[in-house]
Chain A
Amino acid sequence: MVRRASLVVHPEEFVIIVGSNGSGKTTLLRGLLGFLPPLAGSVSRRAGLRVGYVPQRETLDPLYPLSAFGVALLGAWRDLSFWRVSAARERARARDALVACRADEFASRRYAELSGGQRQRVLLARALATDPELLLLDEPTAGIDPEAEEGILDLLRELREKRGLSIWMVTHHVHAIGARSDRTVSISGGRVLCEAA
């Protein structure tokens, strides 16, 4: 449970949420996404706000016979109408997202066969394919090597600059990321301890 959290999402801001295991980081993120309705207080979102979500990649089952492109394509299905006919447009959007995340070179490979860093890029591409204004990421750099972590962080910064995205990211690695973020939200025992610019 997270208590007494009062946070505002600003446009084009890169925010990291840090804290130890079980501190409530992911709960806070899920609250922002609307998965967990608040027991008290409220979460206000602008009508029509487009949110892209990158979950922890361990939650996705590698048994599914999907290619990297197939996973990215899932994001392009946001605007599907009942009688969907725009397959070419969806595919183009997924391809663009993969290129933007520098994941196009392994687009045809099975998602299950990719490395941790490559999977993370594909999941990022899927979120980008939803054409988001706000990007929420749940520990995207967990379990990947420092070089791949650097690559993902550079990519996030580049996406924020080129696309004007707001990015909120849950992480343990404050030492590596802190310098790149605009704001750090520190959370412990379900309480937001501080916000630092």
Chain B
Amino acid sequence: MSDFFAADFLFRNAILGGLGIALLCSVVGVYLVLRRLVLIGVALPQASAAGVAAVFFATGHGSGEGHGTHRLALLGSLLTTFAALAGLVAAQRRARAPAEWGIGALFAITSAATILFIALNPKGDIEMSGLLRGELLAITPSDLRVLWGALLVAAVPFFLFRRELLLTSFDPEFARTIGRDPVRYDALLYALIGGSIALGVMEAGPLVVFGFLVLPALAALHLGGGLGAAFAISAAIGSASFLGGFALAYRADLPAGPVCVGVAAACWLAAALAARLRTRHRALSAILALAVVAAAATLPGCSLRGERGLTPLSRGALPAPEPGHAIAVLPFDNQTGEPLHVSADLFWKDVPRALGDPFAAPALTVPDLLEQRAAVELARRGFEVVPIERVRSLVIHPPADPFAAARAAKRAGLDGPVLQGTLRRFTVSGSGVLLVRLELALVDPASKQLLWTGSARRPVPIRAAQTWSEIVLDAGPPIFAEAFGASEPR
């Protein structure tokens, strides 16, 4: 489990980012459930997704138009989320028709609009669908800082005004009689709900956001205790469900979002069962509930570094590893002519850079994912590998050729062999085949001697993958098997 949070773990950012979203949604979700706004929790993420899809459609999003389009995408997400929220709340207050009528209509309209905008978009289908489904795997360190910063910013008013939020939610008229304006605190709560949804949908997709808004809160309310306990239990179940679900998905090679939501649903069912048992077997039910949460978080996580992650492979055509000399995988050079951005490079993610942080990480790209995959594949073949984060801190720019790589490594003080990579092609054909050309070279910085060269050129079928991250995850092993000259076990 400790591997989860190690700096060199491939999915560290995805886990910490997803954990932040799970925490935020599961805490805010308690009020969503208590105020009987669960259906709003279904419709708003879909409205947010429709906003993103509309922006992509309007701007003709493609892989070469990343920055401005993605900034607009968040704007679209925020605008549609808050517009939909304002409309629903206004309709609810007028009470001319049952609230669920409007919510149902909103869900139907925004679901259809999302699909139509995706279908009509001539470019960027893969990146767009990835963004709509959530690109947890593509969260960069700077994304992570901004995400957790937003989490802390949301936590401050939530904690400071917790009593007012309870007062105005439970009995708004009574709150008014003691001088607490429900409109003001409703606005605060709706801002927290809307912000959480817009942020969460951009990073994790509508399914994960809705699942974590509702299921942990429902489970917590089943387990009893006061309101403070409900918040704490919901946060614990949300975190445990995400960690357990992510580990299960990783091990079973399944999409992370639905598995995480499935684990949260299992926790809810266990809590409902515990609530039924509670009247007769109070202690037993508490132990059962705790055991389910603990199992969700730890059992899959303990086997995280199991067979799938590090199945040993032969070293193929690579030279024998030298003891004490770890290989440093340098940033891969992108010569495809396309930026191949993986993450949504949104304006709020550029805040650290805009504030003058020279170390703010740029958006993640396919070459970055291939570089990380190369480190994993080398480790599978018995090589000791310098942690990627350390290499990144020493060598920022990708060297253009093996000799430039040797010079850069020497300047950085890396004395072991370095792997240099150049990506010349990375496109997906209409028939679901990845056309790739990756050239690799292993060079000794001290002698500037080429130790080994290899390349991958064979097309790779990627029919199941729909995002750049999933493509790299699926196609990475065969690409490096070809380049390193060792076959993948079947």
Give per-residue flags for A64-92: 1 if the beta carbon is below 8 A from chain B beta carbons, else 0: 11110010001101101010100000000
A60 to B163: give the CA distance in the assembly, Å.
17
Cβ of B226 to closest chain A Cβ, rounded Å = 6
Interface size class of A (residues with CB under 8 A): 20 to 34
Which residues of A lie under 8 Å from residue B171 when comparing CB positions?
55, 59-60, 74
B177's nearest neighbour on chain A, judged by CB, is: A53
| B183 interface hit (Cβ, 8 Å) | no
Which residues of A lie under 8 Å from residue B166 when comparing CB positions?
74
A52 to B167: give the CA distance in the assembly, Å.
15
B166's nearest neighbour on chain A, judged by CB, is: A74
The residue that A35 contacts in the complex, of B173, B178, B230, with Cβ under 8 A, is: B173
Q: Are B179 and A61 in contact (CB under 8 A)?
A: no
Using known A-B contacts A74-B166, A77-B163, determine if residue A65 contacts B174 with beta carbons closer than 8 Å.
no
Using known A-B contacts A61-B34, A74-B166, A75-B178, determine if residue A53 contacts B173 with beta carbons closer than 8 Å.
yes
The residue that B221 contacts in the complex, of A52, A65, A77, with Cβ under 8 A, is: A65
Q: Are A74 and B177 in contact (CB under 8 A)?
A: no
Cβ of A121 to closest chain B Cβ, rounded Å = 16
A59 to B169: give the CA distance in the assembly, Å.
12
Cβ of B291 to closest chain A Cβ, rounded Å = 22
Give per-residue flags for A39-63: 1 if the beta carbon is below 8 A from chain B beta carbons, else 0: 0000000000001110100011101
Which residues of B lie under 8 Å from residue A142 when comparing CB positions?
none
| A159 interface hit (Cβ, 8 Å) | no
Q: Are B173 and A55 in contact (CB under 8 A)?
A: yes
Using known A-B contacts A51-B177, A52-B177, A75-B178, determine if residue A65 contacts B170 with beta carbons closer than 8 Å.
no
The residue that A65 contacts in the complex, of B167, B176, B230, with Cβ under 8 A, is: B230
Q: Are B167 and A63 in contact (CB under 8 A)?
A: no
Cβ of B182 to closest chain A Cβ, rounded Å = 11
Cβ of A52 to closest chain B Cβ, rounded Å = 7
Q: Are A78 and B178 in contact (CB under 8 A)?
A: yes
| B323 interface hit (Cβ, 8 Å) | no
Q: Are A74 and B221 in contact (CB under 8 A)?
A: no
Which residues of A lie under 8 Å from residue B254 when comparing CB positions?
none
A80 to B179: give the CA distance in the assembly, Å.
10
| A130 interface hit (Cβ, 8 Å) | yes
Which residues of B lie under 8 Å from residue A160 when comparing CB positions?
none
Which residues of B lie under 8 Å from residue A52 when comparing CB positions?
177
Give the total of B residues in contact with A, Cβ under 8 Å.
23
| A95 interface hit (Cβ, 8 Å) | no
Q: Are B174 and A64 in contact (CB under 8 A)?
A: no
Grouping DSSP codes into helix (H, G, I), strand (E, B) and loop, the B interface class, with mixed when no group exceeds half, is helix
A82 to B163: give the CA distance in the assembly, Å.
11
| A114 interface hit (Cβ, 8 Å) | no
Which residues of B lie under 8 Å from residue A70 when comparing CB positions?
226-227
Using known A-B contacts A35-B173, A65-B224, A126-B174, determine if residue A74 contacts B230 with beta carbons closer than 8 Å.
no
| A33 interface hit (Cβ, 8 Å) | yes
The residue that B170 contacts in the complex, of A33, A35, A60, with Cβ under 8 A, is: A60
* Among all A-B residue pairs, the 8 with the closest Cβ atoms: A78-B178, A53-B177, A64-B170, A65-B227, A65-B230, A77-B163, A51-B177, A130-B178
Cβ of B158 to closest chain A Cβ, rounded Å = 15
A83's nearest neighbour on chain B, judged by CB, is: B160
| B36 interface hit (Cβ, 8 Å) | yes
A126 to B175: give the CA distance in the assembly, Å.
11
Cβ of A101 to closest chain B Cβ, rounded Å = 16
The residue that A61 contacts in the complex, of B36, B174, B176, with Cβ under 8 A, is: B36
Q: Are A66 and B227 in contact (CB under 8 A)?
A: yes
A130 to B175: give the CA distance in the assembly, Å.
11
A74 to B175: give the CA distance in the assembly, Å.
9
Cβ of B429 to closest chain A Cβ, rounded Å = 54
Using known A-B contacts A78-B178, A78-B179, A80-B163, determine if residue A65 contacts B225 with beta carbons closer than 8 Å.
yes
A28 to B229: give the CA distance in the assembly, Å.
40
Which residues of A lie under 8 Å from residue B174 when comparing CB positions?
53, 55, 74-75, 126
Using known A-B contacts A78-B178, A80-B163, A130-B178, determine if residue A67 contacts B226 with beta carbons closer than 8 Å.
yes
A-B contact pairs, 28 of them (CB 8 A): A34-B176, A35-B176, A53-B173, A53-B174, A55-B173, A55-B174, A59-B171, A61-B34, A61-B36, A63-B33, A63-B34, A63-B36, A64-B34, A65-B224, A65-B226, A65-B230, A67-B226, A70-B227, A74-B166, A74-B170, A74-B174, A75-B178, A77-B163, A78-B178, A78-B179, A82-B160, A84-B163, A126-B174
Most chain B beta-carbon neighbours within 10 Å: one of A53, A65, A66, A70: A65
A35 to B176: give the CA distance in the assembly, Å.
8
Cβ of A130 to closest chain B Cβ, rounded Å = 6
Which residues of A lie under 8 Å from residue B34 when comparing CB positions?
61, 63-64
Most chain A beta-carbon neighbours within 10 Å: one of B33, B176, B177, B230: B177
A59 to B174: give the CA distance in the assembly, Å.
11
Q: Are A74 and B173 in contact (CB under 8 A)?
A: no
A34 to B175: give the CA distance in the assembly, Å.
13
Which residues of A lie under 8 Å from residue B36 when comparing CB positions?
61, 63
Q: Are A63 and B227 in contact (CB under 8 A)?
A: no
A63 to B226: give the CA distance in the assembly, Å.
11
Which residues of A lie under 8 Å from residue B173 when comparing CB positions?
33, 35, 53, 55, 59
A82's nearest neighbour on chain B, judged by CB, is: B160
Cβ of B126 to closest chain A Cβ, rounded Å = 43
A144 to B408: give the CA distance in the assembly, Å.
84
A20 to B438: give the CA distance in the assembly, Å.
84
A61 to B179: give the CA distance in the assembly, Å.
21
The residue that A66 contacts in the complex, of B160, B178, B179, B226, with Cβ under 8 A, is: B226
A90's nearest neighbour on chain B, judged by CB, is: B163
Using known A-B contacts A55-B173, A75-B178, determine if residue A63 contacts B163 with beta carbons closer than 8 Å.
no
Cβ of B40 to closest chain A Cβ, rounded Å = 16
A35 to B160: give the CA distance in the assembly, Å.
26
Which residues of A lie under 8 Å from residue B178 when comparing CB positions?
75, 77-78, 130
A66's nearest neighbour on chain B, judged by CB, is: B227
B33's nearest neighbour on chain A, judged by CB, is: A63
B221's nearest neighbour on chain A, judged by CB, is: A65
Give per-residue flags for B270-294: 1 if the beta carbon is below 8 A from chain A beta carbons, else 0: 0000000000000000000000000
